[in-house]
Amino acid sequence: MFPALLLVTLPLSAALLMLLWPRFARSLHVTVALLSVPLAGYFLQQILLHGEQQWLLGGWSPLLAIRWQADSLSALLLLLSALLHLLVSGYALAVQARDRLPAAFWPLSSLLLASLQALWLARDLFNWYVCLELLGMVAVALVTLSGDKALKPALNYLLFSLFASLCYLLGVALLYAGYGALDLPLLAGQLEANRLNAMALLLITLGLMLKAACWPLHIWLPAAHAAAPAAVSALLSALVVKGPLFILYLVWTELAPQAFWLPASYLFALAALGALLFGGIAALRTPYGKSLVAYSTVAQLGYATLALAFVLRFNLPEFVAALWLFVLAHALAKAASFLAMGELQQTLGSKQVSALKGASQTMPLAMFAFAVAGGSLIGLPPSGGFLAKWALLLGLWQSQQYFWLLVLAVATLLAAAYVFRVVVLAFDRAEPTAPDFAPQRLPQYLALLPALAVWAMALFSMPLLTLLKQEL
């Protein structure tokens, strides 16, 4: 119980203390961030040693209590969140004086970690609602840290997020109407394929897809992620949108009756198609650097959605592996690219992509980090993006989805186009944009770190796949 519990309560109580004594906010935050990583690592190891663990909070009987359950996937996501949180904390610490990061960042990002960790552990439909709401509100509060220019995107994000939560809640209420339970393992396999459940699952899916910014429900994302401070955008893109995706996956694979799987797979596939194509095109056309990265998130989520669609359609282990590998690879790559892009914009003093002219000379490290992370977004070997795409490719060949192979190819080229749109510009030596001040090195190295990690991910494909319990 203790490692899992501490992973949630440590950042939570630390956040409370930070609010109480703002003077110690930074040191508390860093301490917790540092503690969380080994703790999560230890927890993962425990899960690997002893197998899946679960707890009924309060010690009540299954139907009554809220269930926490940790399989290796949850443990992996816990570790990922802790790691990225630590990274972003380091980055925030490095730039806080320069960027005038409001003091509220520290407790808020700790709360973000706490709510994410709570979400990965929970297996209760209503508790997920509260977690989602919490996550959404922390995310919006974090977006508003950029000040007045972020107000409109933040409010928009909040309204969408609220609507999504309500959709989800309505779905849960309808499920409860039929089965009188909220516990996922108890409900698993119980659902019949009737109209009521179809409606409930549709609503749940709608809400979660809105929150996970699946195309065409992504419209809130680019503005919000682009408006937030770089450290926040990194967290939002890397982790926050994955929370609802995780629930979506569990709801569909464990809860939904098999009869619904095929139609749902069409729905997800359609969303994936739109995300991959239109997300990529939007990223290619937007004039702003962080919008580009944000649209790339929309596009990349398309891969995960596609994998989910095929999990439901063919139930091959390749697709499950692809889904989670995409999530992992995207989390790392997106953290790197947002931090790098934020650093570039801050130092070069412009939001425009065109301001990145000559950045390979003026800020080689940040540019390199962006390019390396971009390599994973494209899916170049041996990056994590490649590994995930490889799994997806194998699955698609195996299930003879030639059309989707084509889509994948086009999406890959689009990703290459928007990544290299920036990189090529960075090599422009004609009139490099002069930095407003001497570039700081530490934040750039911090941006590079996850990029390098994701770049080497395929070399660790075996342990990762073992963790995901999938064989290719």
Partner 1 sequence: MALLLFDLVLCALLLLLAGAAMLSRSLTQAVTLFIAFGVMMALAWARLKAPDLALAEAAIGAGLTGALCFTALVRYAKQPAYPQPALWRPLTFIGLVTALLLASLSQIPLQPSSAIPALVQQHLPQSGVSHPVTAVLLNFRAWDTLLELLVLLLALLGARQAPGDLPRYRGWSLSISWSRLLSPLLLLVSGYLLWRGAAAPGGAFQAGALLASGLVILRLNQQLSWLSWRHFWVRMLVLGGLLAFVLAGAVSLLLQDLGAVWLSWPQSIAGAVILIVESFATLAIAVTLTLLVVGEPKPEVADA
Partner 2 sequence: MQAWLLDYLPLLIVLSSLLPGLLIFTLKEQQVALRTFLNLLGVTLKLVLVFLMWQGVKEGESYYYRIAFLPGADLILQADALSLLFVVLSSVLWLATTIYAIGYLEHSPLRSRFFGYFSLCVSATVGLALAGNLVTFLLFYELLTLATFPLVVHRGTPQSLAAGRRYLAYTLSGGLLLMLGVSLLHLLAGSPDFTPGGYLAPLLASGSILLQVAFALLIAGLGVKAALFPLHGWLPQAMVAPAPVSALLHAVAVVKAGAFGIVRVVYDVFGVEVVRALDLAWPLLFLAAFTILFGSWRALAQQDLKKRLAYSTISQVSYITLGVALLGPLAAVGALVHLVHQGVMKITLFFCAGNYAETLGIHKIRELNGVGRQMPMTSLAFTIGALGMIGIPPAAGFISKWYLGLGAAEVAQPWVILVFVLSGLLNACYFLPVVYRIWFGVQYSAWPSPQRLSSRFETHWMLLAPSMFTLGLILLMGLFASTELSPLSWSELIVEREFSFDD
Partner 3 sequence: MLSFYLYLGTAVLLVGIGGLGLWRGPELLRRILALNVIGAGIFMLMVTLAYRPVMQGEPADSVLHALVLTGLVVAVSATAFALALLGRLLTRAD
Binding stretches for partner 1 (CB under 8 A): 1, 5, 9, 12-13, 16, 19-20, 22, 55-61, 63-66, 68, 102-104, 107-108, 111, 114-115, 118, 126-127, 130-131, 133-134, 137-138, 140-141, 144-145, 151, 174, 176-181, 194-196, 198-200
Name the residue among 83, 136, 84, 82 with its Cα closest to residue 244: 136
Which of partner 1, partner 3, partner 2, none has residue 1 at its interface (CB below 5 to 8 Å by kind)?
A: partner 1
In the bound state with partner 3, the residue whose beta carbon lies nearer, of 171 and 280, is: 171
The packing angle between helices 384-398 and 364-378, to 10°, is 10
- What single DSSP character describes residue 407? H
Name the residue among 232, 208, 213 with its Cα closest to residue 140: 232
In the bound state with partner 3, the residue whose beta carbon lies nearer, of 153 and 439, is: 153
Which of partner 2, partner 1, partner 3, none has residue 6 at its interface (CB below 5 to 8 Å by kind)?
A: none
Calpha distance 331→242 (Å, rounded): 8
Residues in the chain: 472
Which of partner 1, partner 3, partner 2, none has residue 397 at its interface (CB below 5 to 8 Å by kind)?
A: partner 2
CA distances from residue 392 to 21, 101, 303, 388 in whole angstroms, order as listed:
49, 40, 9, 6
Exactly one of 416, 449, 454, 467 binds partner 2 (CB under 8 A); which one?
416
Instruction: Record the tokens describing residue 259, joined without a space.
Output: 């009869």
Q: Would you count residue 393 as binding partner 2 (CB under 8 A)?
A: yes
Which of partner 2, partner 1, partner 3, none has residue 102 at its interface (CB below 5 to 8 Å by kind)?
A: partner 1
Calpha distance 308→245 (Å, rounded): 9
What residue type is 361 in one-letter code?
Answer: Q
Calpha distance 258→222 (Å, rounded): 34
- Which residue is listed with tokens 């064989």? 471
Which of partner 1, partner 2, partner 3, none has residue 166 at its interface (CB below 5 to 8 Å by kind)?
A: partner 3
Calpha distance 393→414 (Å, rounded): 17
Pair 171, 200: CB distance under 8 Å: yes
What residue type is 50 in one-letter code?
Answer: H
CA distances from residue 389 to 300, 322, 323, 405 in whole angstroms, order as listed:
11, 7, 9, 11
Q: Would you count residue 427 as binding partner 2 (CB under 8 A)?
A: yes
The count of chain residues that interact with partner 2, using the rule CB under 8 A, is 37
In the bound state with partner 2, the residue whose beta carbon lies nearer, of 280 and 358, is: 358
Q: Which stretch binds partner 2 (CB under 8 A): 23-31, 54-62, 323-331, 383-391?
A: 383-391
**Which residues 6+ apart lie within 8 Å of 165 measured at CB?**
129, 132, 133, 136, 207, 211
User: ∠238-243-248 over CA atoms, to 5°?
Assistant: 130
41 CB burial (10 A radius; 0-12, 13-18, 19+): middle
Q: Which residues bind partner 3 (CB under 8 A)?
A: 64, 126, 129-130, 133, 137, 140-141, 144, 148, 151-152, 154-155, 158-159, 162-163, 165-166, 169-170, 173, 176-177, 180
**Which residues 6+ apart lie within 8 Å of 462 measured at CB?**
none
In the bound state with partner 2, the residue whose beta carbon lies nearer, of 69 and 412, is: 412
Q: Which stretch binds partner 2 (CB under 8 A): 68-76, 160-168, 216-224, 393-401?
A: 393-401
Which of partner 2, partner 1, partner 3, none has residue 104 at its interface (CB below 5 to 8 Å by kind)?
A: partner 1
In the bound state with partner 2, the residue whose beta carbon lies nearer, of 32 and 371, is: 371
CA distances from residue 229 to 22, 158, 296, 339, 346 in whole angstroms, order as listed:
20, 17, 17, 9, 10
Minimum Å gap between C-beta 61 and partner 3 is 13
Minimum Å gap between C-beta 440 and partner 2 is 18
Q: Would you count residue 196 as binding partner 2 (CB under 8 A)?
A: no
Q: Would you count residue 458 as binding partner 2 (CB under 8 A)?
A: yes
In the bound state with partner 1, the residue whose beta carbon lies nearer, of 161 and 440, is: 161
Backbone angles phi, psi at 260, to 5 degrees: -85, -10
The distance of Cα 303 from the centroid of its chain, to the nearest Å, equals 13
Q: Would you count residue 150 as binding partner 2 (CB under 8 A)?
A: no
Minimum Å gap between C-beta 68 and partner 1 is 8
Site for partner 2 in 334-373 (CB under 8 A): 358, 360-361, 364
Q: Would you count residue 390 as binding partner 2 (CB under 8 A)?
A: yes
**Site of interaction with partner 2 (CB under 8 A):** 358, 360-361, 364, 375, 378-382, 387, 389-390, 393-394, 397-398, 405, 409, 412-413, 416-417, 420, 424-425, 427-430, 458-459, 461-462, 465, 471-472
